[in-house]
Amino acid sequence: MGSLLSGLLVIAALIGVPIFIVILAAAALGFSFAEIDLMVLPIELYRITESQVLMALPMFALAGFLLSESKTADRLVRLSQAALGWMPGGMIIIALLTCAFFTMLTGGSGVTIVALGALLHPSLLKSGYKDKFSIGLITTSGSLGLLLPPAIPLILYGIIAQQMDIADVSISDLFVAGLVPAFLMILALYGYGLWANRDVKIPLVKFDRKEFFSALNDAKWELAIPVVILGGVFSGVLVISDAAAVTALYVLIIEVFVYREVSISRLPKVMKETMVMVGGIILILGVAMAFTNFLVDAQVPETLFDFIQKHIENKYTFLILLNIVLLLLGALLDIFAALVIMVPLILPVAMSYGIDPVHLGIIFVANMQIGYFTPPVGMNLFIASYRFKRSIHELYIATLPFMAVLLMVLFAITYIPTLSLFLIGK
């Protein structure tokens, strides 16, 4: 009977039943079979509201939605061109940094492809880069900022880890730990871009001091956002939830009253869109915590660990399999759904192998980041196919070399934990 019900739940997920319903049904069935009062479900949903860090999610999300509604993308591209156009492969690093920074601010990789594609693709072609390379670069770069603060996936990972009460995971530690891996990915893609275009004569753009300072002045308010977040948190003046509220207020002021690109009449719609998205995340998170408690009561993590120990001798083999599973999940599931489903299962097992929970968070999000454009069903592949009006097969071919480069960086991030942990003193 249990196998039949499990099969039905899997089928329900595959045919498009909302993921929170599937998880809630699984938790309810699990508790029923264990003869545990189902009142535990609303109790778990309420318990998630006790998390102080949870308050950061809607505030950072609102800031991201407001920025995506403005002309932030145009200002970032202009500033990047003015500052870096003189470099060899200047447009490559411009595309990489602009996409990473925009994704960092908005929290959405698909949004980055849509918002920046119309600006960066013609600029890359005009600079002399081939169409296939340009499309592959933009599609791949769309998710680069997910490891940079205020990284919502890292915040969510931290919330789940804290709710499990088995690891001391600081959100600020996760923010710092993601910096070096994120910049390694950017540098690796830049290096590949230079090598791939080594036979193409790309004219350099002379540095124009006047244009640079004009572009810097236009974008100065948005450039201050990371300073507000990181400065407030690491100075000790603000905790993460405070920093999120200050950031949301700051972005609202600059976009509505300084740049005047988001009208006051537009604000209710933007807020509604934000809260619908955040509400979905919180609902999934709440039911996932209930399901996690069932798994713990049923000793599923212990059973999983015993099974893995019998078949996997050391943590390095475990990490290889973990990367494979997470890449597949990243292609099949939304990053938030993957986090709430897999972290409760993976975290206890990983810690039993001596893997630092902060390092695991970086590995998890880095895999999800690459999963966004992993064939055959990576979400960014379809977004880029729609945005650039190209077949999905063309997108596969265009992104595979970039994916190979990032997989090498992922290998380094996975097996050299110092890359993630040395900045936090571990």
Q: What is the pLDDT of residues 176-225, one digit of tens each?
A: 899 999 999 999 999 999 998 888 777 677 888 888 899 889 988 988 88
d(CA 47, CA 1): 31
- Rounded CA separation 376/14 (Å): 16
| Per-chain mean pLDDT for the chain | 80
* pLDDT at site 65: 81
**Most confident option among 91-95, 256-260, 295-299:** 256-260
356 neighbors 417 (Cβ within 8 angstroms)? yes
Where would I find the H helices in 128-178?
A: 131-141, 152-164, 171-177
pLDDT tens across 36-55, in order? Answer: 777 777 776 676 666 666 77
pLDDT digits (tens, 9 = 90+) for 164-178: 777 778 888 898 899
The predicted pLDDT at position 183 comes to 92
Cβ proximity of 55 and 244 under 8 Å: yes
3-state SS class at 249: helix
Q: Is residue 370 pLDDT above 80, yes or no?
A: yes
Which pLDDT band, with edges at 50, 70 and 90, does 276 fall under? confident
Taking the C-alpha atoms of residue 308 and residue 353, their distance in angstroms, rounded to an integer, is: 11
Tell me the two tokens of residue 399.
């992104």
pLDDT at 214: 92
Which pLDDT belongs to residue 359? 93
What are the C-alpha distances in Å from 85 to residues 89, 120, 212, 305, 411? 8, 13, 10, 51, 31
pLDDT at position 58, please?
A: 82
Q: What is the DSSP letter of 422?
A: G
pLDDT classification of 299: cutoffs 50, 70, 90: low
User: In whole angstroms, what is the distance from residue 327 CA to residue 19 CA?
Assistant: 19
Per-residue pLDDT of 3-13, as tens digits, reads 545 565 566 65
Q: What pLDDT score was predicted for residue 107?
A: 66
DSSP letter assigned to residue 252: H
How far is the C-alpha of 276 from the C-alpha of 271, rounded, in Å?
A: 9
Angle at 100 between CA 96 and CA 106, to 5 degrees: 145
Contact by Cβ (8 Å): 256, 262: yes
The tens digit of pLDDT for each residue in 219-249 reads 889 888 888 877 887 777 777 778 888 888 9
List Cβ neighbours of 159 (8 Å cut-off, separation of 6 or more): 51, 53, 54, 285
381, 136 Cβ separation under 8 angstroms: no
Confidence of residue 2 (pLDDT cuts 50, 70, 90): very low
Residue 118 in this model has a pLDDT that exceeds 80: no
Q: Higher pLDDT residue, 369 or 9?
A: 369
- Sorting pLDDT into bands at 50, 70 and 90, what band is 29? confident
